[in-house]
Amino acid sequence: MRAIEDVDKRNRLEEKPFSYRETKDQNVFLDYYGKQIKILRGKEAEKFLNRIRAGENELAEQLIMANNRQF
């Protein structure tokens, strides 16, 4: 597995451009600089949340969200 430093060479993820919101009906909204870019539902949302909760730090969480983006 590649180190985060190898993936984010320009340190853009340190700006924390990605965020997410979880609804009570288990949907997840992914945001990029405050703008909604994707909605995850069902098993896809569950898998995403499990990966986020297993993330080692905020930078790892940013990388997980970056891998789920869809512009």
- Using one digit for the tens of pLDDT, what is the confidence trace for 9-48? 788 888 999 999 999 999 999 999 999 999 999 999 999 9
CA distance 42 to 7: 29
For the whole model, what pTM was predicted?
0.81
- Using one digit for the tens of pLDDT, what is the confidence trace for 46-60? 999 999 999 889 988
Residue ranges covered by each domain of the chain: 4-67
Contact 12, 62 (CB under 8 A): no
